[in-house]
Amino acid sequence: MSTEKAIRIEAQGAPEQMKLMDVEVGEPGPGEIRIRHRACGLNYIDVYQRDGTYPMQVPLSLGMEAAGVVEAVGEGVAHLQPGDRAAYASQPPGAYSTARVMPAKAVVRLPDEITFETGAAMMLKGLTAQYLLRRTLPQGGLQPGDFVLFHAAAGGVGLIACQWAKALGLQLIGTAGSDEKCALAKEAGAAHVINYRSDKDFAARVKEITGGKGVKVVYDSVGADTFEGSLNSLSPFGLLASFGNASGVVPPVPIGTLAAKGSIYLTRPTLFTHLASREAAQAMADELFAVVLGGQVQIRVEQRYPLADVAQAHRELESRKTVGSSVLVV
């Protein structure tokens, strides 16, 4: 048993609810590992869990991704050994810590060529881009040349998706909230960009770009503010993948709307459904590592915060001051 530092909340609410506390960390049980973190990822799901958008039982440790060194493995864990460099995106939360005991199934060995900071910044966001572009597909799939719309294209997930989509030959239309962020998305590989603050009707612009046809799929993590426009951006039989709600929760949708918009499909996917087995987690991570090591995808770690400054990190993330990925340095 060792005493470690971890960020916990006693009640859901503002960033100030997060406190750096001493916690006791013991030995891993069956199917578990103990990992010492070197860096922890910062993601919008952490905000949802902290502020109550996602109701959670408290007290609660926060954080869903990190990278570090395996210290001990429990019974039945064969794919990891003490001393392995490792990274993960995993439930339950608890990554905002110096060390933790956790389920081993979603933890994978981190290639030596990838730094701990990059590993911590890429797992949740990179695996999200993987399950969206490779597993959450419209009718008939996606082929080179197809148009897709990706909101928040200059965020951590968005910049990875821009690069990956380009590598797949897709024409990604990215939206962002400033000309500077649009430029970042364009540089990363977006074929077209839309500043939704200056160009309010992004759906009309999408139709213009696609010659009136619309896109085969929209990947929308913004939520309430973009939902209606996302529906209007789709071609018949298109797919809206609503995978987040940074601007607020999407209100209930009359099912007849999907018929009226062109027999479209609507899904609310989550990464952790895809990571439910060790085999799936490994296969997804292998594909992510391949595009990073191959140079098709570069991970931009733009903001670094000490673990104790996590409240500032959350405030900057919520105010959309960040670009690319952010990490908490342990």
| Nearest-10 crossing angle of helices 156-167, 179-188 | 40
Q: Rounded distance, CA 136 to CA 130, Å? A: 9
| Nearest-10 crossing angle of helices 278-293, 156-167 | 70
Percent of the chain with pLDDT over 90: 92
Indicate the pLDDT class of residue 300, thresholds 50, 70 and 90: confident
97-114 pLDDT, tens digit per residue, is: 999 999 999 999 999 999
Q: Which of 158, 217, 233, 146 is nearest to 189 (CA)?
A: 158
The lowest-confidence range among 66-75, 136-145, 149-158, 245-254 is 245-254
User: Which pLDDT does position 50 carry in this prediction?
Assistant: 97
- pLDDT, mean over the chain: 96
Q: Rounded distance, CA 276 to CA 269, Å? A: 13
| pTM beyond 0.85 | yes
Going through 145-224 in order, the beta strands assigned E by DSSP cover 147-150, 171-176, 192-195, 215-220
CB 214 within 8 A of CB 207: yes
> Tokens 């077209």 sit at which residue?
192
User: Which pLDDT does position 325 carry in this prediction?
Assistant: 86
Indicate the pLDDT class of residue 246, thresholds 50, 70 and 90: confident
Q: Which of 119, 195, 212, 120 is nearest to 151 (CA)?
A: 195
Q: Rounded distance, CA 137 to CA 146, Å? A: 12
User: Which pLDDT does position 199 carry in this prediction?
Assistant: 86
CB 318 within 8 A of CB 310: no
Phi-psi bin for 211: left (phi > 0), alpha (psi -120 to 50), beta?
A: left
User: Which pLDDT does position 320 carry in this prediction?
Assistant: 80
* Domains by residue range for the chain, with CATH: 2-124+272-329 (3.90.180.10), 137-268 (3.40.50.720)
Q: Which of 51, 45, 48 is nearest to 15 (CA)?
A: 51
249-281 pLDDT, tens digit per residue, is: 899 999 999 999 999 999 999 999 999 999 999
Indicate the pLDDT class of residue 144, thresholds 50, 70 and 90: very high
Calculated CA dihedral for residues 123, 125, 130, 133, nearest 10 degrees = 180
